[in-house]
Structure 1
Amino acid sequence: MDSETPFDSEDLAELAYLHAPIGLVVTENRVIRDCNFAFAQMFGYGRDGLRDQLFARLYPSESEFANIRDRGVDQLRETNSYWDERIMARRDGTLFWCRVRGHSFTPEDPLARAVWSFADLSRIRPYIPLTRREREIVSLLAEGDTSKEIAIALDISHRTVEVYRAKLLKKFGVSNTSALLNCLAGVYQDHIVGRD
């Protein structure tokens, strides 16, 4: 039996990166330069299928990528740390919740070079089909925005935001925004409807 282990013959940093139990990806200006096995598997690709690809391909639509792509840039510039939870798309088109954390190597231009971790939240937060507009509104509610602030951000009327908000409360079977956000955070799993 050979006494040499992978730890003896390979770079430990490379081993840790490639085999980390969470998805890791290195980006330059929103282009995937490299990713580990967990990241590629999470999205249903091989590593080679993601290298040098635009991050937009991992979102439900181009418009959703455009909606979220600049979120966190100011925070990265100020603190060099960012995280959120968002809906992403696998290669086969299925959607899932993902926790994203980022660190920039170039804080003055945060997206020029960065490293990100991605955790699949499917086991604790099943995806519930929402329209793109519902996802936008939920995302802004989670940031603490009021209906008026959401209306301004999305260039829609305050009343339209209230209608969407009421539909979301009904869809999740809750009576207020706090309970809605708790459902989306996986706190009250009994209120989360599984996918058909």
Structure 2
Amino acid sequence: MPVIAALQNTTPADIDSTLKPMEYEAIFDNAMVGIVYSIDRNIIRCNRCFEELFGYGPGELNGRSLRVLYRSDDESEAIGRVGYQLMTRNGTYEDERFMVCKNGKPLWIKWSGRALDRHDPIKGALWTCVDISRRKSAEESLHFAYEELERKVLERTADLQRMNEALAAENERRKRSEELARIRQSELARMSRISTMGEMATTLAHQMGQPLSSTLNYLHGCLLRMHSGQFEQEAIITAIEHAILHTQQAGEIIQHVRQFVRKHEPERLALQNLNQHLVHCIGFLQFELNGEEVVVEMALQNDLPPVAFDRIEIEQVMLNLLKNAIEAMHSIAPESRRIRITSRRRGAFVYVDVCDSGPGVSMELRQKIFEPFFTTKNDGIGFGLAICRSIMESHGGKLRLSRTARGGTTFTFGLPA
């Protein structure tokens, strides 16, 4: 690639004075990108990579017009006019465009060209081109993912609204805790407004799934207890308070994602007590932990120094790791399900370990587990651990995976102390 850059940023005289003719020929013919030299939009010579890219045989394009690579005469003429104007003004031209192979197959190509004489580009131009079809396909997939995200959030919002109405009606019939019901309705309405924000991202779909699912679980449990007529008011209040906490967390996640999409400057990281937030995360997942019969053991170093981090992002990392640990133990007996959380200081970092007693992760999966879109779940998106690693790196930290001595999995993340 440095050679190609040199070809684009020097004159033919500079090239000839720097490279011997045979060396220049070798570079031109063996470059890993397509290179073409044209005069007045006619191909004088192109390398083999360029020919193979468009499906032509050796020398088959020499002497032909660049028009054969465009989908229509109008498109070719329009691009020619624009390219001439830009090269006259800047001496260079770049574009990403659908082109056509010899067999009619379309492909996305990124063009980069430089006029040999910017005052008269017709005299000749040197071009490089790269196939960017895969990148364009990925962009299109992300666009569809955004649309699917909006649909899913709207569905979740409708579920929350229906649950809210059912619980409010039950509270009214039993004449209990009307003020609490109004608070709950207000919080869920606020969550509904947050959930319908215009700027969405695939990351939000994955991260919103955990707090929204937990909210639905808590409210569904409240509704079932109240329908049965046998419940303790304190238990209902506690469950609704957990639901409210999850709803607020989801709102903060949306705010972070919107700030990221708009390229806002990140907030200054504040020094905080990491152990306190670890305990807070366990409380967030207590309902799921109880339901899965998972025992949590904590060994937190009491004298940890304050650590600078974004509370929402680090708690989201912790929640992702805990959820993964819970799911990793589905296949083992309930009495064997254990998660051990430890915190400690080593050198310039504070480390947190999340260890499960599941069957562990194979060596093959360990090599892929942090890759975006990789997932072992039927309904998974494959962003969870990739997001976690990205968050840790943005904090100047690290995230790694290892196998425990007893066969389970340990995720360790470290933050600068």
TM bin (shorter chain): 0.5 to 0.7
Deviation of 1:54 after TM superposition, in Å, equals 0.6
Deviation of 1:81 after TM superposition, in Å, equals 1.4
Contact 1:86/1:97 (CA < 8 Å) preserved in 2?
Answer: yes
Give the whole-Å Cα distance in 2 for the aligned partners of 1:122 and 1:93. 15
Q: CA RMSD in A?
A: 3.0
Number of aligned residue pairs: give it: 130
Q: C-alpha offsets along residues 48-96 of structure 1, whole Å, 9 cap, x if unaligned?
A: 1100001100111222212222113222112211111011000010101
Higher relative contact order (CA 8 A, sep 6+): 1
Which letter maps to 2:41? R
Sequence identity of aligned pairs in percent? 28
Give the whole-Å Cα distance in 2 for the aligned partners of 1:173 and 1:28. 45
Paired residues for 1:161-176 under 5 Å: 173=147
- Is structure 2 residue 106 aligned with structure 1 residue 103? no
What is residue 11 of structure 1 aligned with on the other side? 22
What is residue 24 of structure 1 aligned with on the other side? 35
Contact 1:29/1:113 (CA < 8 Å) preserved in 2?
Answer: yes
Q: TM-score, normalised by structure 1?
A: 0.58
Contact 1:24/1:117 (CA < 8 Å) preserved in 2?
Answer: yes
The equivalent position to 2:67 in structure 1, one of 50, 56, 75, is 56
Give the whole-Å Cα distance in 1 for the aligned partners of 2:57 and 2:30. 14
Deviation of 1:44 after TM superposition, in Å, equals 0.2
The equivalent position to 2:130 in structure 1, one of 113, 119, 134, is 119
Which letter maps to 1:113? G
Secondary structure, counterpart of 1:75 in structure 2: helix
Which letter maps to 2:26? L
Give the whole-Å Cα distance in 1 for the aligned partners of 2:73 and 2:137. 23
Give the whole-Å Cα distance in 1 for the aligned partners of 2:43 and 2:94. 18
Between Structure 1 and Structure 2, which shows a larger proportion of helix residues?
2
Contact 1:87/1:96 (CA < 8 Å) preserved in 2?
Answer: yes
Secondary structure, counterpart of 1:86 in structure 2: strand
Give the whole-Å Cα distance in 1 for the aligned partners of 2:131 and 2:96. 10
Contact 1:97/1:127 (CA < 8 Å) preserved in 2?
Answer: no
What is residue 92 of structure 2 aligned with on the other side? 81
Who wins on radius of gyration, i.e. which is larger? 2
- Is structure 2 residue 110 aligned with structure 1 residue 91? no
Q: C-alpha offsets along residues 107-140 of structure 1, whole Å, 9 cap, x if unaligned?
A: 1111320100110112222399xxxxxxxxxxxx
Gaps of 5+ in 2: 1-20, 151-197, 202-372, 374-380, 382-417
Q: TM-score, normalised by structure 2?
A: 0.29
| Displaced runs of 4 or more, over 4 A | 172-176
Give the whole-Å Cα distance in 2 for the aligned partners of 1:103 and 1:89. 22
